């Protein structure tokens, strides 16, 4: 992937928003890759958790938001638990989801869920999916 870095983009407003929402400093990350090596969702992610951090350091939030990474993140907290720099990566994923959801755009389109399927889901499956993936 080609990236053009511009000094004025570093820690732009959107990066600051992510940092504020997630309570993190993205520059603390030294790219050890521990988050990605433990992440169970990696096989399904278009970019890996440590790449999310790298792009945040470069100010490329829009580039991250074009991927599915924050949507397939299952909030399992392995990354945040293992990060040697104490970065709450799971909260960063949540901040990225929130930035999109607050534009009132759902990731999960509820009316497309099969009605028969809907009956099978336990309440926690539906409530957690709505909470994480709908505005």
What is d(CA 72, CA 31) in angstroms, rounded to the nearest whole number?
21
Choose among ligand SF4, another protein, none what residue 32 binds, the Cβ cut-off being 5 to 8 Å by kind. Answer: ligand SF4
**Sole binder of another protein in the list 11, 21, 42, 54 (CB under 8 A):** 21
State yes or no: residue 44 binds another protein (CB under 8 A).
Answer: yes
State yes or no: residue 47 binds ligand SF4 (CB under 6 A).
Answer: no
State yes or no: residue 48 binds another protein (CB under 8 A).
Answer: no
33: phi > 0 → left, psi -120 to 50 → alpha, else beta; which? left
State yes or no: residue 76 binds ligand SF4 (CB under 6 A).
Answer: yes
What is d(CA 122, CA 31) in angstroms, rounded to the nearest whole number?
38
**Sole binder of ligand SF4 in the list 85, 99, 100, 135 (CB under 6 A):** 85
State yes or no: residue 65 binds another protein (CB under 8 A).
Answer: no
What is d(CA 116, CA 10) in angstroms, rounded to the nearest whole number?
48
**Residues in 90-109 that interact with ligand SF4 by CB under 6 A:** 90, 93
List residues binding ligand SF4 (CB under 6 A). Answer: 29-35, 38-41, 49-50, 53, 73-79, 83-85, 87, 89-90, 93
């Amino acid at each position: 992937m080609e990236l053009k870095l511009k000094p004025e983009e570093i820690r732009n407003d959107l990066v600051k928003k992510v940092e504020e929402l997630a309570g993190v400093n993205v520059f603390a990350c030294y790219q050890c890759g521990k988050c990605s090596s433990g992440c169970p969702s990696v096989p399904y992610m278009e970019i890996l958790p440590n790449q999310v951090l790298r792009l945040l350091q470069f100010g490329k939030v829009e580039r991250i938001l074009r991927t599915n990474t924050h949507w397939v993140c299952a909030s399992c907290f392995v990354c945040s638990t293992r990060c040697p720099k104490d970065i709450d990566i799971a909260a960063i994923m949540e901040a990225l989801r929130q930035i999109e959801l607050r534009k009132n755009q759902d990731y999960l389109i509820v009316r497309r869920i099969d009605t028969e399927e809907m009956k099978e889901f336990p309440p926690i499956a539906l409530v957690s999916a709505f909470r994480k993936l709908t505005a």
